[in-house]
A = this chain, B = another copy of it.
């Protein structure tokens, strides 16, 4: 849904009173940078008055809608169909899988009262995730091997009563995501689906949004409640902590047994089904995206998903005003016709004010048009990622903008990737791990085991360094050597340790 508006009101008429110059050192002071950019770029307003619930404003929502479009296109191309389940889940459904209920009930918002003094017979949970809403219906829908695979997803809000402090997009009590829920006849198909989901993550998050990630199999004590294994992508934030991006879960046949999802196989035998679920949280990925790509002047949005890809700024004095504005409108129209999302800022603010404002908003390309440019059939293009200007002939505008858009996205991604690689350091003792984390790095270490028996060692690392064991890389082949830095047993896994969101 990347519609364009003929004329709108996002141009900062009500920004006049604010300074248009944003200048906070992101690397040194990330929390301030993050809070301030959410405010001045009008991404979210934290004054809503219910802890952890935040209105999303046009600039963020339009970006997230473009992100959703890309993700949905990929999911549908890979044979998933959309559906939508109710926001509420009966308490009796939620409690059917023991590990799952234990994992999620602490975070549930419960509805029991209705109207003036009515009571529901059974409490309803606001969905914290929808396995327990969807799977009782899957039990009705799945009959025979002919019905499988069943690949469905929904795009929705989910609700978790977080105890940690909240932050817009990164950690909220209501967030936006897609959850995909698939059913198969065998565990082999489950593993193929996990692989497909990881490829989807790479295509969407890295190739399209430019966010690099490392992919882990989580430890047994950190997996999805009720599942067999969790696979998740992490990226690094400017404050050195990592954040989980999409995770995909091998549910085995655990939920099928709890919810009675059975099918008749080709030999007419009744079998339990095998399942996966996958949960890319767009609002959280958006929070990571602005953090990873932003700089000290504000946002830097990828060309593919920016609400406005191009802003046109007319530059004039006195008698030239109407001619320059008219010419600028023509450029806007031509670029829109070519399929770009273009905004023309013809407000009364000064060009300098507009430059700062749209740089802060992260618009990838600016077209500057003055009387001399018009005379010479030229235009000035400014790219937000590198803050560089170039002059081109007006007849090349569409072609150059298209190429520049791709260059900007490639560059944002390359910058982010080169940074991430440098942050992994090897550490073979608690002191070295702590030292790495204090420097904002991610520690790689050999570790006793990611089975449940390893949890006490992970707890000790957490207590002494603040770092969490993120699991073993599945996008890299790494062999353990030596012993666990905590218990001294022979290491069976190479794990990554980081502070996290």
By a beta-carbon cutoff of 8 Å, the part of chain A in contact with chain B is: 1, 3-10, 13-14, 16-17, 45, 47-50, 53-58, 61-62, 65, 69, 72-73, 76-77, 79-88, 90, 93, 105-116, 118, 123-124, 126, 133-134, 136-137, 140-141, 143-144, 146-147, 149-152, 157, 159, 161, 174, 176
A-B contact pairs, 25 of them (CB 8 A): A3-B72, A4-B76, A5-B80, A14-B141, A14-B143, A16-B146, A45-B137, A47-B137, A50-B90, A50-B124, A54-B86, A55-B85, A56-B85, A58-B152, A61-B83, A86-B174, A106-B116, A108-B114, A108-B115, A109-B111, A110-B113, A110-B114, A111-B126, A112-B113, A118-B161
Set B61, B126, B137: member contacting A55, Cβ < 8 A: B137
Within the complex, the shortest CB–CB distance from A123 to chain B, in Å, comes to: 8
Within the complex, the shortest CB–CB distance from A442 to chain B, in Å, comes to: 32
Whether A151 and B9, one on each chain, are in contact in the complex, defined by CB atoms closer than 8 angstroms, is yes
- Chain B residues within 8 Å of A136, by CB: 49
Whether A48 and B86, one on each chain, are in contact in the complex, defined by CB atoms closer than 8 angstroms, is yes
Set B58, B86, B176: member contacting A83, Cβ < 8 A: B58
A8 with B116, Cβ < 8 A, contacts A55-B137, A174-B86 known: no
Set B1, B13, B65, B115: member contacting A107, Cβ < 8 A: B115
- Chain B residues within 8 Å of A56, by CB: 83-85
- Chain B residues within 8 Å of A115, by CB: 105-108, 161
- Chain B residues within 8 Å of A82, by CB: 58, 61-62, 65
- Name the 9 nearest CB pairs between A and B, nearest first: A53-B86, A58-B81, A110-B113, A3-B76, A114-B161, A14-B147, A56-B84, A106-B115, A55-B85
Set B62, B111, B134, B149: member contacting A110, Cβ < 8 A: B111
- Chain B residues within 8 Å of A8, by CB: 79, 81
Within the complex, the shortest CB–CB distance from A245 to chain B, in Å, comes to: 21
Whether A9 and B149, one on each chain, are in contact in the complex, defined by CB atoms closer than 8 angstroms, is yes
Whether B88 and A174, one on each chain, are in contact in the complex, defined by CB atoms closer than 8 angstroms, is yes
Within the complex, the shortest CB–CB distance from A395 to chain B, in Å, comes to: 29
